Amino acid sequence: MSSVLDFRISASYGTTEVLHQVAATIAPGEIVSLVGLSGSGKSTLALALLRLLRYRGGVVTGNIRLEGTELTTLSESGMRAIRGRRIGYVPQSPGLSLNSRLRVETLLDETWRAHASRSANHRGLLESVQLPADTAFLRKRAGELSTGQGQRLLIALALMHGPALLLADEPTSALDAIAQAGVLQLFGRINRERGTAILFISHDLLSVAGISHRVDILHEGRLVESGSPAAVFRTPQHPFTRQLVAAMPRLTLPD
């Protein structure tokens, strides 16, 4: 098996096609960042890959192969066995994704029970995402966590069953700059230590470039460029990529 994920898909809402033959391959252990502006189709792509787009009213055509298994023809129960187990999904914001009244240990237990693929080691998992692994933390409610802690907890839940691929849709956009840097570093560490392939979706080319092996640029539902971060920064080919690179903030200090 040569790739973790390999897809070519189009997606529509009603008669409007918003993803046009978007294709990519992610190798084992690779971090690929998919960068595009708001509205370019990033979340549509993430939901399409998870075969969840119909819940948002969208239709997907094409092929999606995960570790050699074609997902587009899989039954819903087959997909449920894949979601959360072979693909770990990290959503954008803990505030929208975690029931704020549930305790950390309950969230961990529920996620573990969804597949029960291995013996539960909640404390080890919390440590691996640099969260406190003591009883006081396990007894906290999700609503009592900082946004950064909540995001780390979402990453822990996504990692629980040892997925081959982490699919993260703007996982740092709700965070302040310092928490953002910490979570980005955490993704890099998870990749190095566990070998997990990562599809990292972001609107921010600058912040993802440092952890990515490859950057794919999505513009109006089309992949317009793909390359190493260095190549994309130094020699952007597509006019949109050039615009994106030129628009990146540069620090100029007064004399």
CB of 232 vs ligand ADP, minimal distance in Å: 18
CB of 42 vs Mg ion, minimal distance in Å: 5
Other CB atoms within 10 A of residue 104 CB? 25
The angle that helices 177-194 and 147-159 make with each other, rounded to 10 degrees, is: 20
| Alpha-carbon span 67 to 2, nearest angstrom | 8
Q: Which does 44 bind (CB under 5 to 8 A by kind): Mg ion, ligand ADP, none?
A: ligand ADP
By CB under 5 A, residue 97 contacts Mg ion: no
Select 42 or 161, whichever has its Cβ closest to Mg ion: 42
| Closest-CA residue to 186 (of 135, 232, 175) | 175
Candidates 43, 97, 121, 237; binder of Mg ion (CB under 5 A) is 43
| Closest-CA residue to 201 (of 227, 168, 229, 224) | 168
β partners of residue 238: none
Candidates 1, 21, 23, 39; binder of ligand ADP (CB under 6 A) is 39
Candidates 18, 26, 183, 224; binder of ligand ADP (CB under 6 A) is 18
Select 92 or 241, whichever has its Cβ closest to Mg ion: 92
Token reading at 214: 């490859």
| Closest-CA residue to 90 (of 180, 150, 8) | 150
| Closest-CA residue to 48 (of 64, 32, 35) | 64
| Alpha-carbon span 238 to 168, nearest angstrom | 25
In single-letter form, the type of residue at position 117 comes to: S
3-state SS, residue 47: helix
Candidates 30, 34, 41, 171; binder of ligand ADP (CB under 6 A) is 41
Query: Which stretch in 31-39, 68-76, 160-168, 172-180 sits in contact with ligand ADP by CB under 6 A?
Result: 31-39
By CB under 6 A, residue 93 contacts ligand ADP: no
Select 13 or 139, whichever has its Cβ closest to ligand ADP: 13
Other CB atoms within 10 A of residue 136 CB? 8
By CB under 5 A, residue 173 contacts Mg ion: no
β partners of residue 229: none
Q: Site size for ligand ADP, by CB under 6 A? A: 12
Sketch the per residue contact string, 52 through 71, with ligand ADP: x for CB under 6 A, - otherwise: ----xx--------------
Token reading at 24: 């990519």
By CB under 6 A, residue 33 contacts ligand ADP: no
Select 18 or 145, whichever has its Cβ closest to ligand ADP: 18
Query: Which stretch in 40-48, 124-132, 136-144, 188-196 sits in contact with ligand ADP by CB under 6 A?
Result: 40-48
CB of 139 vs ligand ADP, minimal distance in Å: 35
91, 97, 100, 102: CA torsion to nearest 10: -90
Residue number closest to Mg ion, CB atom: 43
Per CB under 6 A, residues contacting ligand ADP are 13, 18, 36, 38-44, 56-57
